[in-house]
């Protein structure tokens, strides 16, 4: 079973930064930096990160993101969706740089800027997304893939 881990290390006023790892049998492989919305005690639609936990990844082959990414990427087979999140729907892995680009979804990037004195930012999102997507898709083709969100911040 393949398992991914998001280690959330910085929770700012507008965003949460993390590191995405692919968990193997004996090792953890760094995949990308991540950015999500901020933590909240009460959910605000489109402005709240999902709760820590373990969720199943599935391919979603409908919707606006699916259409845009099908047109943009020749490798695209469906959006990677984080499923069974209590009180959340449509949680996708996609391209973006800051909290304005996510509505509870997971953004990936190859670089990140702190979210303590400024809004968090991740850079080179498209290249990170392509790398992460291809690896997750490959793993999903072999069987169920889970993603764990772990809070340090």
10-residue mean pLDDT profile of the chain (153 residues): values are: 91 95 85 95 89 97 95 96 94 96 95 93 97 97 96 84
- Residue 61 DSSP label: -
Determine the 3-state secondary structure of 79 from DSSP: strand
The whole model's pTM is what? 0.94
pLDDT at 59: 97
pLDDT at 101: 95
pLDDT at 24: 75
Determine the 3-state secondary structure of 67 from DSSP: helix
pLDDT at 26: 73
């Amino acid at each position: 079973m393949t398992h991914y881990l998001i280690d959330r290390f910085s929770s700012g006023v507008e965003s949460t930064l993390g590191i995405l790892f692919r968990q193997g049998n004996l090792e953890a492989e760094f995949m990308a930096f991540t950015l999500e919305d901020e933590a909240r005690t009460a959910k605000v639609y489109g402005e709240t990160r999902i709760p820590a936990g373990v969720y199943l990844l599935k391919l979603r082959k409908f919707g606006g993101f699916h259409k845009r990414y099908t047109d943009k990427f020749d490798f695209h087979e469906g959006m990677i969706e984080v499923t069974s999140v209590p009180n959340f729907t449509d949680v996708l892995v996609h391209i973006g740089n800051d909290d304005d680009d996510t509505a509870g979804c997971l953004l990936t990037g190859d670089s990140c800027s702190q979210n303590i004195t400024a809004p968090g930012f991740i850079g080179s999102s498209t290249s990170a997304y392509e790398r992460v997507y291809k690896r997750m898709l490959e793993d999903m083709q072999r069987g169920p893939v889970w993603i764990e969100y772990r809070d340090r911040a």
